[in-house]
Amino acid sequence: MEERTFSDISYEQYLNEEKLMGSKCKKCKALFVPPRSICVKCYSSDMEWVEMKGEARLAAFTCISVGPPFMIAEGYDRKHPYCSGVVELEEGARVDARIEGVDANKPEDIKVGMPLKVKFLHRGEGDNLKTYLAFLPV
């Protein structure tokens, strides 16, 4: 795989390319998603990129009625809440993500532990392309 710096910028570039990438410490095998350039387990900087399969389980979630300006711009409000969550990847690491394909007006039906699959949400184009990491129920 090509050499990109183990940074948040690279993480986002990979998301634009529909890849969920993390860094793995070559010395102690610790996995970090988003990537870290310094291993916080053994302090090594010898890292390699690894691609996640995109299979996960919901670890925690919330259905937000009062969102930040960029979510309001997408049409979310008190009547149309959205779901954000923490998901545990099959590989073991956890990531923050938007949870799509669920009814955020019925949070009782969303269950911690439910199986999920990755989805890349693209917004904008060209230099303005931004990709949000999202997961859908399987």
Partner 1 sequence: MQKKRKLGRGVALVGAGMSKFGMFKDKDSKDLFAEAFREMIASVDKGFDPSEIDALYLGNFTNDFFVHQGHWGPIISDLIGLNPKPATRTEGACAASALAFREAVFAIASGFYDIVLVGGVEDMSKRTTEEVAEGLALATVPYEGRVGFTFPGVFGALATAYFAKYGATREHLMNITIKSHSNAPLNPKAQFPLSIQDMMNRKIENAKKKGKPMPTWEDEKAFLRDPAANPVVAWPMHLYDCCPISDGAACMLLVGEEIARNFSDDPLYVIGIGQGSGRGLHACDDLTYFEATRHAAKEAYGMSGLKPEDIQFSEVHDCFSIAELIHIEDLGFFEPGEGYKAVAEGLTRRDGPMPINTSGGLKCKGHPVGATGVGQLFEVWKQLRGEAGKRQVPKKDLRIGAAHNLGGTGGTCTFIILERR
Q: Which residues bind partner 1 (CB under 8 A)?
A: 8, 33-34, 59-69, 71-72, 78, 81-82, 84-86, 93-98, 104, 107, 112-113, 132-134
What does the alpha-carbon distance between residue 110 and residue 97 come to, in Å, rounded to a whole number?
Answer: 15
Q: Report how far apart the first and last C-alpha atoms of the chain are (Å, whole number).
A: 29
- Return the one option of Zn ion, partner 1, none that residue 62 interacts with (CB less than 5 to 8 A, by type): partner 1
Question: What backbone phi and psi angles, to 5 degrees, belong to 104?
Answer: -70, -10
Min separation Cβ 98 and partner 1, Å: 5
Which residues 6+ apart lie within 8 Å of 43 measured at CB? none
- Of 48 and 103, CB closest to partner 1: 103
DSSP string, 51-89: E---EEEEEEEEEESS--HHHHTTT--SSS-EEEEEEEE
Q: Which residue in the set 8, 16, 18, 41 belongs to the binding site for Zn ion (CB under 5 A)?
A: 41
Min separation Cβ 6 and Zn ion, Å: 12
Specify the residue for token string 């923050």: 96
- Of 112 and 138, CB closest to partner 1: 112
- Return the one option of partner 1, Zn ion, none that residue 7 interacts with (CB less than 5 to 8 A, by type): none
